[in-house]
Structure 1
């Protein structure tokens, strides 16, 4: 039996990178996957790839910063597809700018990063929570090594703050919902090669070298490296795990 059979799983930011890999992995494990992304075409393409390989997948456009849209889509999915039992909050952006630049840029970076990476997690979770509670389901939030540390790369206070917030939200929600049988956990990726950081890797190869030099496994991660932990946290394999974060960082935080 597949690990996620009879589950309906919603994955945000599923049009590319980690979200796309998790959606495909969940489908391989028997879940019906609902891919959400602000880029409707990318989500539709990823869903088609899943269906072409025998999986079950649907896609919808969603801007996680729009709370009313999150609520409306949650109701639409419940009506058209069924009760969601797994939610993966993956949608996010990264901007590695500090506090000492032009005021307009500093403020915009803060507002955009917090709106998507932290408030977006709240918006989507709040919208799907009635279904998750009814199903005694599972929530998996994508944190970061920056849920703990401010990495030694170009400054990113907004990103660091947002990912600290995701971990705090994960723990608070786990404590609140545990008695209802709902489990809430996070994954902490290290340096993962995705479209999100492709431009940075291309224009600043020294940045990648800095991360890898501090990583005991000596390589960057791939989106597929996140899939196994995501399946574990969404499945009954982790039936007694909640309020935790699984680090997938090649050992970055060990040294």
Structure 2
């Protein structure tokens, strides 16, 4: 029997990268998947591909920074698809600008990154909380190696702070929601080859060297490398796991 049969899984930032890979992985394991993204066309194309391969998928437009929209989407999913039993908070952005750089850019980066990465995780989780409690569901938040440390570059303090916040939020919710049967965990990717970092990978060889020098497996990750941990944390295989983070960083934190 597929590991996620009879589950309804909601994935944010599902039009590309890690979110898209998780949505496909969940569908293959029998879940009915709802792909949420600001990119309506790409999200629907991904949903169509899942359906063509025999899976169940719907796509809906969502900007996770808009709390009222998150509430509306949660109601729409419940009415049109059913009560969500899995939520993956994957939507995120990053900008690698130094804190000592242009003042306006620093403030803008902080506000934008926090709005998506941290406030967005809160907004979506709060909106779907009723369904998740009713189904004794599972929440999977996408953290980072930067949930623990600042990567060895003088940049992205907002991203580091936001991902520390995601891990703290994960642990706080696990402590509170355990009595309701809801498990809350996170995944900590290292450098994963996604559209989010395509420009950096192409144009910043020094940064790439820093990552590779501290990655024992000697390669950047692929979105598919996050799918296994995401299935594990959403399935009954992890029935006694909550408040944890599964690192998928190629060993980055060991060096």
TM-score, reference length from structure 1: 0.99
Q: In the TM superposition, what whole-angstrom CA distance separates every residue of 1:1-60 from its partner, at most 9, and x where no partner exists?
A: 000000000000000000000000000000000000011111101111101100000000
1:206 CA drift (Å)? 2.4
Where does the alignment leave 5 or more consecutive residues of structure 1 unmatched? none
* 2:36 is the alignment partner of 1:29: no
Moved over 6 A (4+): none
- Whole-angstrom CA distance in 1 between matches of 2:188 and 2:102: 31
Decide which moves more: 41-50 or 6-15: 41-50
Whole-Å separation in 1 of the counterparts to 2:52 and 2:195:
23
* Aligned-partner SS, 2:185: strand
**Cα RMSD between the aligned structures?**
0.6
My pick for the range that moved more, 116-125 or 209-218, is: 209-218
Q: Secondary structure at the match of 1:216?
A: coil
Give the Cα–Cα distance (whole angstroms) in 2 for the partners of residues 9 and 124 of structure 1: 13
In the TM superposition, what is the alpha-carbon distance from 1:156 to its structure 2 partner? 0.9
What is the aligned residue count?
Answer: 255
Looking at structure 2, the residues matched to 40 and 153 of structure 1 have their Cα atoms a distance apart, in angstroms, of 34
Deviations 1:102-151 (A, max 9, x none): 21111000000000000000000000000000000000000000000000
Residue 98 of structure 1, CA deviation: 1.7
State the SS of the aligned residue for 1:30.
coil
Match of residue 81 from structure 2: 81
> Structure 1 residues 97-106 or 193-202, which shifts more?
97-106
**CA distance, structure 1, for counterparts of residue 143 and residue 223 of structure 2:** 14
Which whole-Å deviations, capped at 9, do the CAs of 1:74-126 have from their partners, x for residues lacking one? 00110011010000000000111121112111100000000000000000000
TM superposition shift of 1:248: 0.2
Aligned twin of 1:245: 245
TM-score of the superposition, structure 2-length normalised? 0.99
What is the alpha-carbon distance in structure 1 between the residues aligned to residue 78 and residue 72 of structure 2?
Answer: 10
Q: Residues 34-45 of structure 1: matches in 2 within 5 Å?
A: 34-45=34-45
Which runs of structure 2 are paired with 1:206-221 in the superposition (5 Å)? 206-221=206-221
